[in-house]
């Protein structure tokens, strides 16, 4: 009987099963942390596939294009010299929506269901996608017959452990307090954040390259991209410091990164200014919601993000925040309607603030 693991700490359960050789012939992996999915598949490959015959005994299929017949054919092939043949069907969107790939009618699904019930004992097939539909026959069969691992976001403690290992491996020192600060600064735990472990690892690499033998809090503040707030706060720093030249320079540098990113930039500004306006309204109200913790609990926005925004909110009155919000909306409308060029619309936004 194949081990069935559902809704547990994915990477911990997986590690235990791999060590105990409990990985089944059919595996389902899903969740927002696709970094961990890749890590898990790599671990399976390293355990069961001989490096000398990896080209023959390890196959990666694109789940957005591979047909059921192609998947089954790859799985039914026996290994050459390895203990197991490993097949990874990545980004298999039919786990979420069967109609996303041609060939997933009743006959196509039945081909895969038939294989799942009687898999090749000489192979391990991993089906993965960020999202799944638990109501579909395909997902139900995988969860019933195979090993199932959900890789969700890590906890703060797990993130700190993740970072510490990488700093130690690079022989770079960082204090426990600054590790906590690093995790908060990334915004990883923000509910609405799309910052993932791929981004976190890249930021750690930048810190290692930037900080020398020891990473300081100042290094973190200067280097971490976080969940996107940093650019907007730097922009507001220039505006509120009455340094429009600095603000424009920040804008131009951002535009250089993505010449076609004016709409996402304007949308990000609106999102941040909306949050700041909400915080200002809470701070000015008689409801007693003035602390970051209280506002965070009420809005569902991560407390660190609220605390960070409050430092800027205090520079503006409620009326000024509303004016800033209106200017952000106007810039966005000017861009999407073509009334102004994207750069000019954003320049006008900067010019209006504090004018």
- The CATH architecture to which 10-150 belongs is 3-Layer(aba) Sandwich (3.40)
**For the whole prediction, is pTM greater than 0.75?**
no
Q: ∠ at Cα 156 (294, 38), nearest 5°?
A: 135
- Model confidence at 7: pLDDT above 60: no
Could you tell me which residues come within 8 angstroms of residue 58 by beta carbon, excluding any fewer than 6 positions away?
A: 45, 49, 85, 86, 87, 88
Fold classification of 229-352 (topology level)? Zinc Finger, Delta Prime; domain 3 (1.20.272)
344, 347, 283: which is closest to 312 by C-alpha? 283
Three-state SS letters, 285-306:
CCCCCCCHHHHHHHHCCCHHHH
pLDDT, one tens digit per residue, over 304-329 is 778 878 888 888 899 999 998 999 99
Tokens of 325: 């919000």
Give the number of other CB atoms < 10 A from CB of residue 242: 9
pLDDT, one tens digit per residue, over 65-89 is 999 999 999 999 999 999 999 999 9
pLDDT, one tens digit per residue, over 13-55 is 999 999 999 999 999 999 999 999 999 999 999 999 999 999 9
pLDDT, one tens digit per residue, over 117-156 is 999 999 999 999 999 999 999 999 999 999 999 999 999 8
How many angstroms separate the CA atoms of 336 and 345, rounded? 10
Would you place residue 225 in the very low, low, confident or very high pLDDT band (cuts 50, 70, 90)? low
How many angstroms separate the CA atoms of 161 and 147, rounded? 26
β strands within the chain, DSSP E = 26-30, 58-62, 85-90, 123-129, 147-150
Residue 227 has what pLDDT?
Answer: 58
How many angstroms separate the CA atoms of 243 and 260, rounded? 26
How many angstroms separate the CA atoms of 339 and 256, rounded? 22
DSSP string of 55-95? HHHEEEEETTT--HHHHHHHHHSPPSSSSSEEEEEES-GGG
β strands within 71-207, DSSP E = 85-90, 123-129, 147-150
Could you tell me which residues come within 8 angstroms of residue 51 by beta carbon, excluding any fewer than 6 positions away?
A: none
CATH class, domain 156-223, is: mainly alpha
Residues shown for the chain: 355
Q: Where are the domains of the chain?
A: 10-150, 156-223, 229-352
Question: How many angstroms separate the Cα of 98 from the Cα of each of 67, 228, 268?
Answer: 11, 34, 33
Would you place residue 104 in the very low, low, confident or very high pLDDT band (cuts 50, 70, 90)? confident
Residue 6 has what pLDDT?
Answer: 41
Residue 5 has what pLDDT?
Answer: 42
Residue 258 has what pLDDT?
Answer: 59
Residue 241 has what pLDDT?
Answer: 62
Do residues 251 and 235 touch, judged by C-beta distance below 8 A? yes
Residue 193 has what pLDDT?
Answer: 66
Would you place residue 259 in the very low, low, confident or very high pLDDT band (cuts 50, 70, 90)? low
Could you tell me which residues come within 8 angstroms of residue 206 by beta carbon, excluding any fewer than 6 positions away?
A: 223, 224
Do residues 54 and 90 touch, judged by C-beta distance below 8 A? no
- Matching CATH topology for 10-150 and 156-223? no
């Amino acid at each position: 009987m194949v081990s069935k693991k559902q809704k547990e700490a994915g990477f911990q359960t997986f590690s235990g099963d791999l060590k105990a050789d409990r990985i089944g012939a059919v595996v389902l992996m899903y969740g927002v942390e696709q970094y961990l999915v890749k890590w898990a598949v790599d671990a399976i490959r390293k355990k069961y596939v001989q490096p000398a015959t990896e080209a023959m005994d390890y196959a990666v299929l694109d789940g957005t294009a591979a047909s059921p017949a192609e998947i089954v054919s790859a799985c039914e092939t026996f290994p050459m010299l390895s203990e197991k043949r490993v097949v990874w069907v990545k980004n298999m969107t039919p786990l979420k929506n069967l109609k996303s790939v041609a060939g997933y009618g009743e006959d196509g699904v039945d081909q895969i269901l038939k294989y799942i019930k009687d898999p090749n004992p000489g192979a391990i097939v991993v089906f993965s996608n960020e999202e799944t539909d638990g109501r579909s026959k395909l997902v139900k069969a995988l969860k019933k017959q195979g090993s199932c691992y959900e890789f969700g976001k890590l906890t703060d403690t797990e993130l700190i452990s993740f970072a510490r290992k990488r700093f130690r491996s690079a022989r770079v020192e960082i204090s426990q307090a600054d590790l906590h600060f690093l995790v908060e600064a990334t915004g990883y735990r923000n509910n609405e954040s799309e910052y993932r472990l791929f981004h976190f690892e890249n930021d750690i690499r930048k810190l290692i390259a930037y900080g020398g033998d020891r990473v300081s809090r100042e290094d973190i503040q200067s280097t971490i991209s976080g969940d996107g707030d940093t650019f907007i706060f730097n922009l507001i720093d220039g505006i509120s410091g009455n340094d429009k030249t600095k603000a424009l320079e920040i804008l131009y540098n951002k535009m250089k990164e993505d010449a076609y990113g004016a709409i996402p930039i304007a949308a990000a500004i609106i999102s941040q200014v909306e949050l700041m306006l909400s915080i200002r309204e809470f701070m000015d109200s008689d409801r007693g919601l003035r602390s970051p913790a209280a506002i965070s609990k009420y809005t569902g926005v991560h407390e660190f993000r609220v605390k960070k925004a409050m430092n800027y909110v205090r520079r503006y009155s409620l009326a000024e925040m509303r004016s800033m919000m209106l200017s952000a909306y106007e810039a966005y409308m000017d861009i999407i309607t073509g009334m102004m060029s994207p750069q000019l619309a954003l320049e006008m936004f900067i010019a209006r603030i504090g004018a």
